[in-house]
Amino acid sequence: MLRTVLLRSARSATCQAVRRSSPIARPALASSFVKQSQFAPSAFQAARCYSAAAGLEKPEVEGRIIDLLKNFDKVSDPTKLSASSHFANDLGLDSLDTVEVVMAIEEEFSIEIPDKEADAIHSVDKAVEYILAQPDGKSVHSFLYA
């Protein structure tokens, strides 16, 4: 872009017609470039980031899963929600609800849990354990901030 501006200004030194347009074009270009670089980081912050600055930490994963369960209207007793709640025994969810919760966890963390592992997730701490065992959380982090 800089090269075209330079070329244009060089040409305007010889050509009358171009010289008239170049003083308008040059400041407009420069200001739009500055604006773009100012907006770029803020637009990124507005997007939802799935990895915190220090990767996925246990309290954060727990918090996100518990928040998700808070919004799940079939939880019979929200006061029993804790990091160690069992989906069926503590929260009163049936087996189909459990599948739905695991599905919601998949959507929350943008992952796909294979059937075998998904069948083994019956409690909040099991889910947290599985999420933390995923290498993706850290690789996304290093990709974004490297």
What is the x/- site pattern for other proteins, positions 116-145, by CB under 8 A?
Answer: --xx--------------------------
90 annotated active-site: no
- How many residues in the shown chain lie near other proteins by CB under 8 A? 12
CA-CA distance, 142 to 146, in Å (whole number)?
5
Indicate which residue of 67, 73, 90, 94 is catalytic.
Answer: 94
* Choice between 3 and 116, CB closer to other proteins: 116
Q: Is the Cβ–Cβ distance between 94 and 88 less than 8 Å?
A: yes
- Candidate segments 22-30, 34-42, 53-61, 102-110, binder of other proteins by CB under 8 A: 102-110
Name the nearest CA neighbour of 129 among 113, 110, 141, 107. Answer: 113
CA-CA distance, 72 to 77, in Å (whole number)?
11
| End-to-end alpha carbon distance in the chain | 27
CA-CA distance, 113 to 103, in Å (whole number)?
8
In the complex, minimum distance from the CB of residue 74 to other proteins, in angstroms, rounded to a whole number: 11
Site for other proteins (CB under 8 A): which residue of 56, 102, 105, 128?
A: 102
Is 88 a residue that touches other proteins (CB under 8 A)?
A: no
Is 99 a residue that touches other proteins (CB under 8 A)?
A: yes
Is 108 a residue that touches other proteins (CB under 8 A)?
A: no
Q: Which residues contact other proteins by CB under 8 A? A: 95-96, 98-100, 102-103, 107, 112, 115, 118-119
